[in-house]
Amino acid sequence: MADGGGARQRTLLWLQSGGCGGCTMSLICAEQPDFLSTLDIAGIRLLWHPSLSAATGVEVRTIIDEVRSGAIPLDILCLEGSVIQGPNGSGKFHQQAGTGTPMKDIIAELAGLAHDVLAIGTCAAFGGITAGGANHVEATGLAYDGSEPGGLLGPSFRARSGRPVINISGCPIHPSWVVETLLQLALGTLRQGDLDALERPRLYADHLVHHGCSRNEYYEYKASAEKLSNLGCLMEHLGCMATQVHADCNIRLWNGGSSCTRAGYPCISCTEPGFEDPSHPFLETPKLAGIPVGLPTDMPKAWFVALAALSKAATPNRVKMNAVADYIITPPTVAKGRPRK
Amino acid sequence: MSRRIVGPFNRVEGDLEIRLEIEDGAVKAAWVNSPLYRGFEQILGGRDPRDALVYTPRICGICSVSQSMAAAIALAEAGAVEVPTNGRLVRNLVLGVENVADHLTHFYLFFMPDFARPIYAHEPWHGEVAARFKAVDGAAAREVLSARAAFMHIMGMLAGHWPHTLGLQPGGTTHSIDGATQARVLATLAGFRRFLETRMFGDRLEEVTALASVRELDAWRQREASAGSDFGVFLKLADGLGLSALGRATDRFLSYGAYALNGGFLFKRGVNAQGADEALDVTQITEDSSSGWFAASNGPRHPSRGVTIPDADAKGAYTWCKAPRLDGKVVEVGALARQTVDGHPLIRDLVRTSGGNVANRVIARLIEIARVVPALEEWARGISPHEPFFVDAPALANAEGAGLIEAARGSLGHWLSVKNGRILNYQIVAPTTWNFSPRDASGVPGACEMALVGAPVREGEVDPVAVQHIVRSFDPCMVCTVH
C-alpha cells in the first residue's frame, strides 16, 4: 500500500512480550485527544490490543490466523516488551497463552508480514530491563541487542514498507512519541532521515534530556545538589546522565508538565541501549580524579574541565546557596527601577 | 467431560492462560498458568541496594509505584530511616492515585466491556451497557481515558511522571512541593471527584461510603441518580446475571494494612477468615514452588529465605507462578479483602450474605475509590510546604528489610537482604501471586482456581463468559505475579 493513499483504514496489531506493560499504561495517559480518539483521527483500526480490545482467547487466535493468511492486511505491528529467547533459544520463558507457541516465533512471523514494525519502549527496541544482569532469559530487542544491530530479526531486516524497525525507546515511552509517530505514518509524512542512527524517531531523539532542564543555571555554574531533594544540578554527585541522553523529556514534559529531573531525581538514561546495566550505582556519578567520567555529548574534555573550573569560581552566592537547599532560599535580586514621579 | 485451554486472556495486565476441565455444563477443575518469566530476582542480585528502586517498579507498568513503595519501605526498614511527615503524605498520595487509577482502569476498560458481548444481546440492559461500555467504541472509554489522564497530573506534580518514577525513596520523596503545587493537587482532585460523583456514583462520595448494609445499598440504588450511574448500572446487571453467586473462593482474606500514617493505617492490617478477625503473623507466610517451573527448593520457604531458580523442565509443573500460603492456607487479597479486614460495614454485610464473589469484588473496588479520594484530599491538605520531605538514607552494608504494602490488587511484599553493600537476596510476592497461585505440594488449588469451579459453560461457548467474569473480577496483574 502506498503511503498516504487509499480510503482503507490502516490496521494495527499490538503484541506484548518480555516487559511490564508500562508503555501501554503511559500511552493511555495521552491527552488532547485521548489515545482512542487519536486512532480515529489517524484512520487506524485496532485489530487487537491486549489491554483495550474485546477479543479474547480463540477470537484473538483467529485474528492472528487471518493476518497470517493475508485475509487481513497488517499495516502496523507494535511490540511492547523484549523478545525472550531463553532458555537455550527455546523461547519457553514466554509461550503464547492458549497455543504454547514461543512468542518469539509469532513475533518474527508477523513482523515479516507487516508494512511497518514499531518497537515500543526500550525493552522492545534494545532488550531493556529484562536483559539486565546476566540476562539468563536471553532477552533481546526486535532489531537490536543493546546497541548492536541484530536482535530477533537480524541487522538487515526491513519491513514491507522498506523501513527498518522503528525504535520508540524509553522506559516508559512518552505517549506523544508514539502518537506522533503513528500520526506521521498515517499521514505518510514519515520520511527516510526522520530516524536517528539507532532508528529512533528524531522527533524526540534529536534532543538531549538536558535541553530545557529547569536546573540549567545550576549546571552552568556547576552548583551541585548534595542529596536528591536539593535544587542543584544532579550531574556531579547524583548520577544524572541528561547531558548524554537522547530525549525531549524536559521540553515536552510528562503527566501535565513535569519530568524526572524536575521531580528531583537524575536522568537514568532510559531511552538508551544498555541503560539497564550502568557500570555504577544509578545514583552515583563515576569520577576519575574528581571529574565525572561521562561528560556532555560532543564536548571536548579539556574545554569542559576548564569551563567548569571557571564557572565554579564565578558562581553567584544565590546559586550556591539554593543548590543545596530544598526550596529557593535566596531569590534573584529584585532590580529597583526608577522611582515613580 | 471435556478439556479446553483459554488464552490469550486479555484485558488483564500481562499474560494468562486458563486450563479447564468441564463436565455437565460447568467447570469441574481449573489450572491457572502464568506463561511469562523474566527473573527479576536474578536481575537484582549483586547490585547496590538503592538500585532496587530503578528495577522493581519496572516489574509492572500498572502497579509501578506500588513496587517502588514496597522497595522503599524494605530499604528504609533495613536502614532504620525515619521519614518526615511530608514524605509520608506524598508517598501515600502517589500510591493512592495509582491505586484509584488502577481501580478505574479495571472497571471501565477491563471488566465492564464483557457485558457488551453479543451473548448478552437479549438482556434488557444490553443496549444501554453496550453503548457505554463496549471495548474501544463505547462512550465511557474515551471519557475515562481523559479523566484518568487529568488525574495522573498529580503524578507529574508530586513525582515527575508515571509509571516508573524514582520520586519515592526510603527517606521520603525527592520533590519538595510549594503551596502553589499543593493547591494544584487539590484542584486536580476536585476535578476527579466531580467525574466520580457525576458519572460513577451519581452521588456525593461521602453518601456512598456511608452505606452501611445491603439494605441501605438496595435503598440507595432506587434513587434516580444512583440507578443511572455507572455503579447503579453494574448493580442492575449483577442482579440480573447472578454475579454474587459466581466465583467464590475461600472467604479467607488478607491485608497488610494500607496507607501507613501516624503509626497506623487508613485500612487495617489483618486477616478475616469466614467472618472472624485474626491477627496477621507475617512469619507464617510461605511460598511453595512445587507446581511452578522451578528447581526444587526443599519445601515451602518464608520469602526472606526464598529462592527463585527457573527450570523449564520441572516435573508436574504448569506455571511460572509459585504458591504463597499463610499458615499453610490459601488466602484471597485485593480491595474486597482490604475492606473486609478493615470492617467497612457494607462490605462486611455483603460478605456475610454471599461471601467473596464477582459482584462483591467489584463493589468493594468502587467503595474503596469513594473512600480513598477523600483521604487523598486530606493528605494533600496536610502537607506543610517548606518543611522537609526527604532525608538521606544511610548506605547499607549488612542488613535485612521487608516492605509489606497494599497495591490496588492486594498484598505486596518485598523481602531484601544485603551483604557487604550488595543485594544478596531479593524476593517478591505480589498480589496476583496470592490470587492466581497454582496448586501447592498437597494439591490444594489457589484462590482463582477454586473460584472457577462451578462456573457455568453455556452450549457452544468456547471461551466461557462466566470464566472471564470470574478471572477479571480479581483484576489480575500477571507481570507482577511472576516478574
Contact check, Cβ <8 Å, B10/A17? no
Distance from CA of A283 to the nearest CA of B (A): 8
pLDDT of residue A140: 98
Q: DSSP secondary structure string, B14-26?
A: S--EEEEEEETTE
Chain mean pLDDT for chain B: 97
B111 near B470, Cβ under 8 Å?
A: no
pLDDT of residue A292: 84
Q: What is the mean pLDDT of residues B145-171?
A: 98
pLDDT of residue A302: 87
A13, A16, A20: best mutation site toward chain B, by most B Cβ within 10 Å?
Answer: A20
Q: Nine-digit cell at A322? A: 539554593
Q: What is the mean pLDDT of each run of 10 residues along chain A (341 residues)?
A: 58 98 98 96 97 96 98 98 98 96 98 98 98 97 98 98 98 98 96 96 98 97 96 97 97 98 98 97 91 80 88 95 97 84 64
B40 — pLDDT class (breaks 50, 70, 90): very high
Nearest CB to A229; choose among B48, B109, B390: B390
Which strands, in side-by-side order, build the sheet including A76-80? A44-48, A10-16, A76-80, A116-120, A166-168
CATH code for the structural domain at B2-482: 1.10.645.10
User: To which residue does cell 483484576 refer?
Assistant: B475
What are the b/e assignments for B376-413, b being 16+ CB within 10 Å?
A: bbebbeebeeeebbbbebeebeebbbbbbbbbbbbbbb
- The domains found in chain A, sorted by start residue, are 10-205 (3.40.50.700), 208-329 (4.10.480.10)
A262 contacts in chain B (CB < 8 Å) = 160, 175
A53 contacts in chain B (CB < 8 Å) = 10-11, 135-136
B61 contacts in chain A (CB < 8 Å) = 19-26, 172
Q: Nine-digit cell at B97? A: 492515585
- Whole-number Å distance between alpha carbons of A263 and A274: 24
> What interface predicted TM-score (ipTM) does this complex get?
0.97
Q: How far is CA B204 from CA B27, B231, B373, in A?
A: 41, 13, 11
Nearest CB to A25; choose among B6, B33, B163: B163
Above 90 in pLDDT, residue B380? Answer: yes
φ/ψ of residue B25, rounded to 5: 70, 20
Please list the alpha-helical segments (H only) found in A172-300.
175-187, 202-205, 216-220, 249-252
Over the stretch B239-291, which tens digit does the pLDDT of each residue have? 999 999 999 999 999 999 999 988 899 999 999 999 999 999 999 999 999 99
- Whole-number Å distance between alpha carbons of A219 and A213: 9
pLDDT of residue A7: 58
Other C-beta atoms closer than 10 Å to the C-beta of B82 total: 10
Above 80 in pLDDT, residue B425? Answer: yes
Over the stretch B300-355, which tens digit does the pLDDT of each residue have? 999 999 999 999 999 999 999 999 999 999 999 999 999 999 999 999 999 999 99
